[in-house]
Structure 1
Amino acid sequence: MATTQVSGMPFVVSTSLDKPDPNLRKFIRKHVMMGKNRGKTRPTKKREKKALELDLSEVADPTIHLTKPPAASNSSLVVTRLPIPPKVGSELSTVHFADDVDLSTVAVVLRFSSIAKQALFPLETCISFDQGDKKQWIEPLAFDAAYLHTMIFTTHDYFNLLLQRAPGGETSTHFFKTIQILRERLLYEGDGRSKVSILTASVVLALAGHALLMNEYVSARHHLEGLRKIIDLRGGLTTFKGSSKLLIEILRCDLGMSLYTGLKPLFSDILLSSGPSLLYPEPLPTSSYCKINNLLEGITDELVTTWTVMEGFCSLINLAAKSKTRIPKEMFLDAMASVMYRLLYMEFAADSTNELLRLALLAFSSSVFLQWKYMRMSYPHFSALYKDCLMKTAVSDIPPQLRLWLLMVGGVSVFTRADEEWLRPWLRAIMNLCDIELWTEMQDILDSFMWIGLVHDELGKEVFDSASLLTITL
């Protein structure tokens, strides 16, 4: 056996029956396997996402993930690309949806599903949502046409508003298609099961939430009343115990409507399934529990208990954020229902300290339970009510530290840029009274009452900085 070289290429010539020597065997195997393993690369480690500074007007891609909420005075956002599989388009071409739709519109829905919990819940990192929640949200796209069209127009309009663009006309077709399918289902389908199904309730809730987002509150109320009828036909809110995520969204929409309009909520019967608090059946023996009684005279026991429940929930969330753990979503639901519905049904004199504390707790809890992460919801009726109560109540009898908390709560929850004219001077005066010059000093006072850094620190720092600037201009 011999090896020869022809035009740079090796040839092996065998003229013997003897076994080839080991070196020659290795030589032959090397050339046989050449190129066989190409394409089989080891998985590389995930690269860290790169943050990009973009002007809001340049953001046109709904796969972009905002990493800080937009401020009215600053359109510069830190954004990162969502980890969307690059083959989503080709994969969608093999999927059969419930109706004939443009695949690109569904792709946006799927992309939104990857950020939905983060976008809708500022406390998402501290709440344990089931892994099946996302699956239950996506699967109906394949077999429920009303649900499919609803998800398309609500998702697209969400991104349009988030990017400060007018809602696109391309979504109107899906909106009217949803209404048509839903009307036919409710009027003509004979078995009645689909009329009161979870999916039908989800579609009606989405219509109400979309109307609320578009400031169409008459329509939102109309849809919520229709949802109330569907839930009654199902047997009440208790039939949603297995769908706590949907129940959370129903109550959030109901509570938001009540804060905006001043009307009583439609789903207050959720209180019938809970005691004074499912979290803390008895008041917590904390220093704040004694403090609120000592600082404010004549506060009712029910209001003090509600304060204590909310304070306990804040402590749990702050602990979860610090330890990077999560609480069950049912605990979020219980706290929201037991605190906010009770506060909405309490009645006190308009200029009393009880009323001021009730409104402050409502404002604070709305920022915890109702606000979205990247899009701040506005409640003009409630905001005006809270401002009016602050102006009329004898706040001089309230310790300055508590007055500071009352104003800061309004600043991070319901007050808008239009309120800065009266809020900043008042806040600055109390800061001087409390000898506050640094944000950390402000934090210490806010934490001594009730505060969630994960939700309030960023907005709180903006309010503090805005008031601090008055020291230069006064």
Structure 2
Amino acid sequence: MSTPQGLGMPFVVSTGPAKPDPNLRKFIRRHVMIGKNLGKTRQTRRKKQKSSELRDVINPEKLLTESSDKSSLIAARHSIILPKVGSELSTIQLADAVEPSIVTTVLQFASIAKQALYPLESCILFDKSDKRQWIEPLAFDSAYLHTMIFMTHDYFNVLLHRIPCGETSPHFFKTLRILRERLLCEGDDSSKVSILTASIVLALAGHALLVKEYSSAKHHLEGLRKIINVRGGITTLKDSVKLLIEIIRCDLGMVFHCGSRPLFSDVVSWQPFPLGPEPHKIESPCNSDKVPKSLNCQLAMIWTTMGGFCSLINFTANSKNRIPKEAFLSTMASVMYGLIDMEFDIRSTNEVIRLGLLAFSSSVFLQWKQMRMSYAHFSALYKDCLMRVGFSDIPAQLQLWLLMVGAISEFGKTDYEWLKPPLRTTMNLCRIGSWTDMRHLLSTFMWIGIVHDELGKSIFDSTSVLTIA
């Protein structure tokens, strides 16, 4: 079982003598304020609404209010509240006896979760109810409450490079105890396979991945698979798209970390391909003239699908629109599971393009916005393929895309020693003299500006300096 790693964990609280962690405060403030200063009038209105929703969400009385008439609901939503989260928490009844201040970090994480975990968050239309569904169970499900406590605190530990000292371990072990009792309880079959129980098991798997305890992650994912099978299969989650997205991301994360076989690839059998704007409204998905004609037919179809998705996202970002989260799920599942299911010779052009597409897709669908995940198994696999493939059969422009995709998605600074020499050579072959040149070339294949521009330019700048020297 995965166990939280320990450390004196400073929490951001509104009360108490201890000084809060300044790095955590800056992180929370920066992401909570994203987009808030675009208009002062709207800022005031949103703040009041957030506070009202917060009190509604974590107050069990709100559940009773919803069952009464509309006038009662309106009165509750416009009730006078205290301005500080810490003060509010002191009056809230949670599902178990915990210090209210420790839940503050959970609520703070809730306010930035989508921005922190999804690079494409600004382009995806998540339901407003998603956050409420994420927070409401804190009031009535003790296993969920303790799960969220150790999950969110350990997330900030990893993000802020803090060494844990075990302060959340009691919450972790209490989660396991409550969950075990629930699963072994006679006569309560509905709670054993409920959406909430599935969410808790998924959180345990995700936490194990976060702290690099892969055998535990595998164990929890297998348990989740059994729960879903008992429910009647993956199709029973079709109305819980956000949960399904997280299940697929966790499953794919295990594949990238360890090379294990996926457990939820059957989602592809019922997920349709996404529909985007009319073709004339978006740029050409990719430059097919620069892709080898001998490319495997199935691989070529996935290349086209992913290229179309990139064009749709770039169009959406530029037009300030959003795509349905179903389109995100559909493309992620069909593209990534489809690529994982293929097999080619390690020295072949098909294999290096398959792995290049997987690397690129991981940066779009799997990576977290504020914390780049490292995938040891897949990074080694892609590096081995790049070192062994016959690049003489691949156009220089495609070679450059394959190398840059590895640099922005899989390889770290420790890989620069072997990666940058061929990267510099290929840049010279393609006559790349500026970041504008580089970005234009990459965009003719696949590239998403809001995800890849910042790191891509950084890698280009450091490589081009060495090229000039």
Same-fold status (TM-score > 0.5): yes
Instruction: Give the aligned partner of residue 422 of structure 1.
Output: 418
**Letter in structure 2 aligned against 1:181:** I
**Contact 1:62–1:108 at 8 Å: present in 2 too?**
no
- Pairs within 5 Å for 1:92-107: 92-107=89-104
Q: 1:300 to 1:333 in 2, by over 3 A?
A: same
Q: Name stretches of at least 5 consecutive residues in structure 2 with no aligned partner.
A: 1-20, 32-45, 52-82
The equivalent residue for 1:74 is none
Find 1:340's aligned residue among 336, 341, 344.
336
2:155 aligned with 1:191, yes or no?
Answer: no
Q: Secondary structure at the match of 1:375?
A: coil
- Does residue 309 of the first structure (1) align with residue 273 of the second (2)? no
Amino acid of the structure 2 residue aligned with 1:408: M
Pair 1:66–1:390, CA change in 2 (3 A): farther
1:101-151 CA distances to partner (integer Å, 9 max, x unpaired)? 010111111111110110110100000000000010111000000000000
Structure 2 residue 25 is matched with structure 1 residue 61: yes
Specify whether residues 170 and 287 from structure 1 end up closer, same or farther in structure 2 by C-alpha distance, changes over 3 A only. Answer: closer
TM-score, structure 1 as length reference:
0.81
Q: Superposed, which structure 2 residues align to 1:229-308 within 5 Å?
A: 229-274=226-271, 277-279=273-275, 291-292=287-288, 295-308=291-304
For residues 188-220 of structure 1, give each alpha carbon's deviation from its aligned partner in whole angstroms, at most 9, with x where no partner exists. Answer: 242211100001000000000000011111110
Matched, 1:218 2:182: no
**1:14-413 alignment, distance < 5 Å:** 59-61=23-25, 64-66=28-30, 86-274=83-271, 277-279=273-275, 291-292=287-288, 295-413=291-409
Q: Which structure dedicates a bigger proportion of its chain to helix?
A: 2
SS at match of 1:260: helix
Where 2:155 maps in the other structure, the secondary structure is helix
Matched residue of 2:411: which SS? coil
Pick which of 323-332 and 181-190 moved more: 181-190
Q: What's 1:30 paired with?
A: none
CA shift digits 1:18-68 (9 cap, x unpaired): xxxxxxxxxxxxxxxxxxxxxxxxxxxxxxxxxxxxxxx95143762456x
RMSD after superposition: 2.2
1:384 is displaced (CA, Å) by 0.8
Equivalent-residue separation in structure 2 for 1:96 and 1:63 (angstroms): 28
Q: Is the 8 A contact 2:114 2:121 kept in 1?
A: yes
Amino acid at match of 1:441: D
Residues 362-419 of structure 1: CA deviation (Å, up to 9, x unaligned): 0000000000000111111111111111111111221111111000000111111111
Structure 1 residues 288 and 134: CA distance shift in structure 2, 3 A:
closer
How far apart, in 2, do the equivalents of 1:62 and 1:215 lie? Answer: 27
Contact 1:204 1:224 in 2 (8 A): yes
1:353–1:393 contact (8 Å) kept in structure 2: yes
Q: How far off its partner does 1:271 sit? A: 1.5
| 1:297 Cα deviation from its structure 2 partner | 3.5
Q: What is the distance in 2 between the residues matched to 1:472 and 1:105?
A: 53
Q: Give 2:25's aligned amino acid.
A: D
Question: More deviation in 399-408 or 159-168?
Answer: 159-168
Match for 1:129: what amino acid? F
Change over 3 Å in CA distance of 1:189–1:151 after alignment to 2 = farther
User: What secondary structure is seen at the aligned counterpart in 1 of 2:167?
Assistant: helix
2: CA distance, partners of 1:472 / 1:448: 25
The structural deviation recorded for 1:360 is: 0.4
- 1:52 corresponds to: none
Task: State the 1:301 CA deviation.
Answer: 1.1
Counterpart Cα distance in 2 of 1:330 and 1:347: 28
State the alpha-carbon separation in 1 of the partners of residues 405 and 216 from structure 2: 30
After TM superposition, the score normalised by the length of structure 2 is 0.82
Which range moves more in the overlay, 199-208 or 424-433?
424-433
CA distance in 2, matches of 1:264, 1:427: 32
* Structure 2 CA distance for aligned equivalents of residues 64 and 286 of structure 1: 36
Letter in 2 for 1:438: S
How many equivalent residue pairs? 400
Cα contact 2:24–2:156 (8 A) shared by 1 = no
Larger proportion of strand = 1
For 1:142 and 1:287, locate their aligned partners in 2 and report how far apart those are by CA, in whole Å. 49
1:419 to 1:443, Cα distance in 2 relative to 1, 3 A: same
User: Is residue 28–residue 112 contact of structure 2 (8 Å, CA) maintained in 1?
Assistant: no
Q: Secondary structure at the match of 1:305?
A: helix
Q: Which has the higher contact order (CA 8 A, sep 6+)?
A: 2
In the alignment, the residues of structure 2 paired with residue 241 and residue 231 of structure 1 have an alpha-carbon distance, to the nearest angstrom, of: 12
Distance in 1 separating the partners of 2:339 and 2:350: 11
Opposite residue 220 of structure 2, the aligned amino acid is H
2:319 aligned partner, one-letter code: S
Q: How far apart, in 2, do the equivalents of 1:189 and 1:98 lie?
A: 22
In our comparison, the structure showing a higher alpha carbon Rg is 1
Residue 367 of structure 2 aligns to a residue whose secondary structure is coil
CA contact (8 A) 1:425 1:470 kept: no
Separation in 1, partners of 2:289, 2:248: 30
| Aligned partners of 1:428 and 1:467 also within 8 Å | yes
Contact residue 343 and residue 358 of structure 1 kept, 8 A: yes
5+ long unaligned stretches in structure 1? 1-56, 68-81
Q: What is the CA-CA distance between 1:471 and the residue it aligns to?
A: 2.6
Greater shift after overlay, 164-173 or 211-220? 164-173
1:286: Cα distance to partner?
Answer: 8.6
Question: Which of 434, 437, 455 lines up with 2:451 in the alignment?
Answer: 455
Determine the C-alpha separation between the residues in 2 that align with 1:200 and 1:144.
Answer: 10
Code of the residue aligned with 1:292 in structure 2: it is S
* Counterpart residue identity of residue 176, structure 1: F
